[in-house]
Amino acid sequence: MNNILYKVHDNLYVNLTNRCPCACRFCLRQTMDRVGESDSLWLKEEPDLAAVEKEFESRNMDEYREVVFCGFGEPTERFDVLVQVADFVKARWGKPIRLNTNGLGDLINGRDIVPELRGRVDTVSISLNTPDKEAYLALVRPKFGEKSFDAMLSFAERCVGVVPHVVLSTVDTTLTKEQEERCAAICRRIGATYRIRPFES
Ligand code: SF4
């Protein structure tokens, strides 16, 4: 069964990797094998560009509103393939593209990847999780350590003006109202949209 592409609501999600530099305490991968209309998002091997293109070609793309890089891993772990897939989807179907990310793509790739999002990604949705650096470290447990929170915020800030829609998200019921207000203030400061997404168990 194909686990590279899967449908969630009316969007088509792309699962390029199971790698991630984080070990979030709330990660769905700890308790689930699948999301949406997928059987399992655990990949036997990471698909190359040709394999991803083949899966897209087998779909009726009229059924999908948006293409979303997400999956059971951090999409920017495969940034070079992600960029090529985005170019393919844009050229072939012109669909809106969203990147769901932990915002650590610069650290993962050892370079500033933001300029490469221009014209390819229409929405970047970044997991803010909490307004506090210390709480972030404890919750997300990134392998890059203390610099991760600031790197994530810097990534978000630089996306503004490059990617049309920049969203920072936290999860409903996990923060106090005061913490959510501080998250909203961070978003106002950098010009991003704040989104409180539903809790998924
Ligand atoms: S960043 Fe995403 S994939 Fe990685 S551990 Fe956290 S929730 Fe899981």
Domain ranges in the chain? 5-197
Kindly state the tokens that stand for 196.
């409180």
In whole numbers, what is the pLDDT of the chain averaged over residues?
A: 95
Best of 137, 140, 152 for a ligand 1 pocket test (most atoms within 8 Å of beta carbon): 140
Instruction: Using the mean position of ligand 1's atoms as its centre, give its distance from the Cα of residue 97 in Å.
Output: 20
- The tens digit of pLDDT for each residue in 4-37 reads 999 999 999 999 999 999 999 988 888 788 787 7
Beta bridge partners of 160: 163
* Percent of the chain's residues with pLDDT above 70: 99
Nearest residue CA, atom 8 of ligand 1? 27
Cβ–ligand 1 distance for 74 under 6 Å, the answer yes
Topology, domain 5-197: TIM Barrel (3.20.20)
CA dist 21 and 108 (Å) reads 8
Would you say residue 42 has pLDDT above 80? yes
Cβ–ligand 1 distance for 151 under 6 Å, the answer no
CA dist 81 and 58 (Å) reads 19
CB 168 within 8 A of CB 187: yes
Best of 15, 26, 27 for a ligand 1 pocket test (most atoms within 8 Å of beta carbon): 27
Lowest-confidence region among 27-31, 71-75, 77-81, 190-194: 27-31
Q: 38 falls in which pLDDT band (50, 70, 90)?
A: confident
